[in-house]
A and B are shown apart, each in its own frame.
Chain A
Amino acid sequence: DADVTQTPRNRITKTGKRIMLECSQTKGHDRMYWYRQDPGLGLRLIYYSFDVKDINKGEISDGYSVSRQAQAKFSLSLESAIPNQTALYFCATSDRTGNEQYFGPGTRLTVT
């Protein structure tokens, strides 16, 4: 089984809809991250969490919110989706040193 799973893998939604992307991990890591990838760009950090009670904004958090339901689960929400949020979204985990980084398979989100 994969160490980091994301659901859904693909999603098409309409402008203004609320959508949630879910991430689960079996690594036992405290640290979890959400990144976004746009064409021609590397990944950019949206939010990160060091544990259930510690959530922090990343570089591009506007328009997004997150929830850390448990050590193993970290969800990303788009409260009112807009077309420029069309992107590939990755969840990741790391150990406390940051030297081990595990990525989920990604979620392709299209907002029409």
Chain B
Amino acid sequence: AQKITQTQPGMFVQEKEAVTLDCTYDTSDPSYGLFWYKQPSSGEMIFLIYQGSYDQQNATEGRYSLNFQKARKSANLVISASQLGDSAMYFCAMRERSGFGGSQGNLIFGKGTKLSVKP
């Protein structure tokens, strides 16, 4: 079973509008972290935002916010006021705690959503 599911292979949004990219996750660990990365056509992975499983408030970083619904196991990324430069692939990822009590540290990625911003 997939641990990270991104159900939207592609999305379009009009410039200056807000857009929500969906991400659901599956874990039995009580302690985990959720990440969103942006990958432009040049290929680098750009960190956007992080949410810890015990964080009480939804994470925000500038125009990015993470809508964290723990009971539903969802961690959707909201981009406000979309810009042409936001056109890219977006990946949701999760860091689980290892079975030995510490964090293995590696990330488990979804398949990504390609966002296209229209002028």
Do the two shown chains form a genuine complex with each other? yes
CB within 8 Å for A98 and B105 given contacts A105-B43, A106-B44: yes
> Which secondary structure dominates chain A's binding surface?
strand
A101's contact among B4, B44, B95, by CB below 8 Å, is which? B95
| Interface positions of A from 23 to 47, Cβ below 8 Å from B | 31, 33, 40-45
Residues of A within 8 A of B91 (CB): 42-43
Residues 53-82 of B, flagged 1 when their CB comes within 8 A of A and 0 if not, give: 000000000000000000000000000000
Q: Whole-angstrom distance between the alpha carbons of A105 and B102 in the complex?
A: 28
Name the contact of B106 in the complex, choosing from A41, A58, A96, A102 (C-beta under 8 A). Answer: A58
A48 within 8 Å of B (CB atoms): yes
CA of A45 to CA of B52 in the docked complex: distance in angstroms? 21
**In whole angstroms, what is the CA distance A33 to B47 when docked?**
16
Roughly how many angstroms separate A62 CA and B112 CA in the complex, as a whole number? 24
The reply to whether A40 and B111 contact each other, CB–CB distance below 8 Å, is yes
Interface contact B44-A42, CB-CB below 8 Å: no
- Interface extent on B, as a size class? 20 to 34
Which of B89-119 touch A at CB < 8 Å?
91, 93, 95, 102-112
User: B35 in the interface, Cβ–Cβ < 8 Å?
Assistant: yes
Asked if B44 and A45 make an inter-chain contact with CB atoms under 8 angstroms apart, the answer reads no
The verdict on A88 contacting chain B, using a C-beta distance below 8 Å, is yes
B109 touches A43 (CB 8 A): yes
Q: Is the beta-carbon distance between B33 and A98 smaller than 8 angstroms?
A: yes
Indicate whether A74 reaches chain B with its CB closer than 8 angstroms. no
Asked if A84 CB lies within 8 Å of chain B CBs, one says: no
Report yes or no: A99 in contact with B95, Cβ–Cβ below 8 A.
Answer: yes
Report A21 CB to chain B, min CB distance, Å. 14
Q: Top 4 A-B pairs ranked by shortest CB distance?
A: A42-B109, A98-B105, A98-B103, A103-B45
- B residues with a Cβ closer than 8 A to A are 4, 33, 35, 37, 43-45, 47, 50, 52, 91, 93, 95, 102-112
